[in-house]
Amino acid sequence: MSDLFGIGLLIGVSALFAMSEIGMAAARKIKLRMLVEDGHPNASAVLALQQNPGTFFAMIQIALNAIAIMGGIIGEQALTPYFKEWVAMVYQGPLLDQISFWLSFITLTSLFILFADLLPKRLAIIMPEAIAMRVITPMRWMTFVLMPLVFFFNGLTNMILRLLKLPTQQEELVTTEDIVAMMEAGAEDGSLQKQEYQLIGNVFELDSVTIGSAMTPRDQIVYFDAQEDSEAITQKFIEHPHNDFLVCAGGLDTILGIIESKEILRQVLKGEQANIPLAQLDKDIFYLPETLTLSEALNAFKVAPQAFAVVVNEYGTVVGLVTVKDLLNSFMGDLITSHDAEHIVKRDDSSWLIDGLTPINDVMRHLDIEDFPDRNQYETIAGFVIYQLKRLPKRTDSLLHAGYKFEVLDLEGVRVEQLLVTRVPSEPR
């Protein structure tokens, strides 16, 4: 009975070490840091051990191997006589000892696999942080007890790693891919809402998307000409109630300044003829190059007093206009965009109407398309069509990509105004 008790004790101790090994390895640093902030002292001890786990894993392997050897020795002595008695009831031939030994070996191995390996490791994988914090104290004491052996084997391991020019410690580096993977896992199990997942994903795109995808293009900028008559100024003011307007001389390539709409409104309310008071123009115009990313543009607006920026290309030509709201809208999406301003409208289960200026990233996300060819060559879905056709498109021009048909539905001059995107049914094999 003492041998059977010894086997049970070895299985229990082995289970504790196996659980500790998996718990320490699987404990997530982000979750542990949150537990430290909540006042769990053992969480900080687990984090410290993860920074330098060599001695811990050396101790675990020494202990597990010693237990396995002891289990084999005790198990053979403890179980073989019992199996020999049971087998002798039906067989007493020359192979009695061998059969008893193998039955004892299989039984003992099965017990260790099930209760000392599989079950404790499964529990440790399910709740690694809780297991790691519970076992950290006894494991540190065990490491201290086995310190001579731990020091020897850990030092030998480090020497071999250095000879092979391999790192001896784990570099703690959280990459964008790691965060995206966590987001996808959270979205799949429902802990992360769809809007939250989309918002976080958009934030990571701020450094890869230029302001061209968020700006108002040149042909849609509403501005006043310094020589416009009163009627034209009033009509434009009524149709486009913006807070500020550019004032130009003959066109956007000659900007004189910025006027606040309240200056014109004051004239109208007094019953006067609307005109552009050139003396009241704000000539401090905020320019941004079109090559800036959304992140760089947001940083630029932090130190700029203006409400909007004029976007210019490398030749100094005005190509668009962008506001802080445009930049926020580019990654806030549906959270701040009204229904009327939606760029992607679903017609039915297999077709969508998409505005030509819709950023290509929004199309990828909405239609679940993994990638577009040469994405760095264009910013919008209209740019994709032009790039693929290698010419300015005409109405009804179409192309296929990723199981979708992109058809030009409407043009305004040479600009693609709207596309019809249809899912193409896959051909049966």
Condensed to tens digits (0 to 9), the pLDDT of residues 27-49 reads 888 788 888 888 888 888 888 88
Q: Cα 66 to chain center, whole Å?
A: 44
Note the CATH architecture for domain 342-423: 2-Layer Sandwich (3.30)
Find the helix or strand (DSSP H, E) in which 73 lies: helix 54-88
For the beta sheet containing 244-248, the strands, ordered from the edge strand earlier in sequence to the opposite edge, are: 223-225, 244-248, 255-260
Condensed to tens digits (0 to 9), the pLDDT of residues 200-239 reads 666 767 777 888 888 888 988 999 998 888 888 888 888 8
Residue 86, both tokens: 């049971």
3-state secondary structure (DSSP) of residue 285: coil
Q: What is the pLDDT along the chain (429 residues), one digit of tens a residue?
A: 566 777 888 888 888 888 888 888 888 887 888 888 888 888 888 888 887 787 888 888 888 888 888 877 776 677 777 788 888 888 888 888 888 888 888 888 888 888 888 898 898 889 889 888 988 888 888 888 888 888 888 788 888 888 888 766 666 655 656 666 666 666 666 666 666 666 666 676 777 788 888 888 898 899 999 888 888 888 888 888 888 999 999 889 899 999 988 888 888 788 888 888 888 898 899 999 998 988 899 899 888 878 899 999 988 899 999 998 888 877 665 555 544 447 888 898 899 999 998 888 888 888 989 889 988 888 889 999 999 999 999 999 999 999 999 999 999 888 899 999 999 987 554
Residue 349, both tokens: 């289960």
CATH number of 211-333: 3.10.580.10
DSSP-derived letter for residue 360 is: H
Extents of the domains making up the chain: 2-163, 174-204, 211-333, 342-423
For residue 64, give Cα distances in angstroms to 21, 47, 135, 141: 10, 23, 16, 16
3-state secondary structure (DSSP) of residue 301: helix
